[in-house]
């Protein structure tokens, strides 16, 4: 059997097991999804949204990219966000980084990664804003992990700068925004930053409603 065929076999076993536990499981999910959460996480294979939160299909709407970034010209992210907030009416958006993130590590260095460079420049900007605080830490690993926390906070604030979130806050008093960092060492999520609906940001970024 080839490696990818293992996935198909696992899938057949999983589907059968789900039906064995609950015969209506797929029927219920077939016609609609009503997730309460949008997850914006890192693409890292060790941080699967549903596994680490022990949730089922249908519970979390997911977008993942390298280093869980909210980039204002990323139509992929903006489309997911708009759909999650306006159509699915999610109550919470989770920006989930993870300690030891390779994307953040790479952004702190000078290696030429070709087509990856422009994406990492957004993380370099976050590093530049907080360079003094980060560089004051003793080891490189500590610096990386602090920047990961600061990056999550920055990306949550980027969400608050979008018209999608500002309109939803104004009209519906939702969603709440959360910044979390997952620990690869212990499997635990560290909540680092929250923004309630209506929180004021730098007026420069607040649109007229
Ligand atoms: Co990562």
Q: 5 and 76 share a domain? A: no
Residues 11-20: what's their mean pLDDT?
A: 97
CATH (domain of 187): 3.40.1050.10
Structural domain boundaries, residue 185: 35-205
Same-domain pairing of 12 and 49 = no
Find the DSSP H helices in the chain: 3-21, 25-31, 49-53, 75-82, 102-108, 117-129, 131-135, 140-160, 163-172
The answer on 134 and 187 residing in a single domain is yes
**Is the same domain home to 107 and 10?**
no
Most distant CA pair in the chain, distance? 59
17-31, 93-107, 179-193: least confident range:
17-31
How much of the chain exceeds pLDDT 70, in percent? 100
Ligand 1 center to residue 206 CA distance, Å? 30
Residue 106: count of CB within 10 angstroms of its CB? 19
Per the CB < 8 A criterion, the answer to whether 64 and 43 are in contact is yes
- Rounding to the nearest 10 degrees, give the CA dihedral for residues 33, 36, 42, 43: -10
Whether pLDDT at 184 is above 90: yes
Total domains, the chain: 2
Are both 5 and 46 inside the same structural domain? no
pLDDT confidence of residue 4: 96
Does 176 qualify as catalytic in the annotation?
no
- Do 10 and 101 lie in one domain? The reply is no
| Angstrom distance (rounded) from CA 162 to CA 171 | 14
pLDDT at 1 over 90: no
Task: Please confirm, yes or no, whether 42 is among the known catalytic residues.
Answer: yes
Residues 13 and 49 in one domain: no
* Residue 144 sits in the same domain as residue 100: yes
Tens digit of pLDDT for each residue in 18-53?
A: 999 999 999 988 888 899 999 999 999 999 999 999
Rounded Cα–Cα distance for residues 17 and 69 (Å): 35
Q: Are residues 28 and 58 in the same domain?
A: no
Residues 53 and 16 in one domain: no
Catalytic: which of 27, 46, 72, 170? 46
Whether residue 39 is found in the same domain as residue 28: no
**Is pLDDT at 102 greater than 90 in this prediction?**
yes
Nearest CA among 104, 94, 64 for reference residue 193: 94
Half-sphere exposure at residue 179, Cβ-oriented, CA atoms within 13 angstroms = 22
Proportion of the chain above pLDDT 90, given as a percent: 97
Which pLDDT score is estimated for 183?
A: 98
Q: How far is the CA of 35 from the centre of ligand 1 (A)?
A: 24
Q: How far is CA 7 from CA 2, 3, 11, in A?
A: 9, 7, 6
Distance from the alpha carbon of residue 209 to the mean position of ligand 1, in angstroms: 36
Q: Is 87 in the same domain as 112?
A: yes
Span 53-94, pLDDT tens digits: 999 999 999 999 999 999 999 999 999 999 999 999 999 999
The stretch 186-207 carries a mean pLDDT of 97
Q: Which pLDDT value is given to residue 156?
A: 98
User: Is residue 109 predicted with pLDDT exceeding 90?
Assistant: yes
164 pLDDT tier (thresholds 50, 70, 90): very high
Give the side-chain half-sphere CA count within 13 A for 131: 6
Collapsing DSSP to helix, strand or coil, 11 comes out as helix
* pLDDT score at 78: 98
Give catalytic status of residue 44 as yes or no: yes
**pTM score:** 0.96
CA distance 147 to 132: 11
């Amino acid at each position: 059997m080839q490696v990818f065929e293992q996935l198909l076999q696992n899938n057949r076993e999983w589907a059968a097991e789900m039906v064995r536990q609950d015969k209506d499981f797929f029927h219920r999910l077939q016609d609609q999804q009503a997730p309460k959460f949008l997850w914006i996480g890192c693409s890292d294979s060790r941080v699967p949204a549903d596994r680490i939160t022990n949730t089922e299909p249908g519970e979390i709407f997911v977008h993942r990219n390298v280093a869980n970034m909210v980039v204002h010209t990323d139509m992929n992210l903006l489309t997911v966000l708009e759909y999650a907030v306006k159509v699915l009416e999610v109550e919470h958006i989770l920006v989930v980084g993870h300690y030891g993130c390779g994307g953040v590590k790479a952004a702190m260095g000078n290696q030429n990664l070709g087509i990856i460079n422009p994406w990492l420049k957004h993380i370099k900007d976050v590093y530049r804003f907080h360079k003094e605080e980060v560089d004051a830490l003793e080891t490189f690993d500590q610096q990386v992990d602090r920047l990961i926390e600061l990056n999550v906070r920055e990306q949550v604030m980027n969400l608050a700068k979008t018209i999608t979130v500002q309109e939803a806050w104004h009209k519906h008093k939702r969603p709440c925004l959360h910044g979390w960092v997952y620990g690869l060492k212990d499997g635990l999520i560290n909540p680092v930053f929250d923004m309630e609906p209506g929180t004021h940001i730098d007026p420069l970024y607040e649109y007229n409603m």
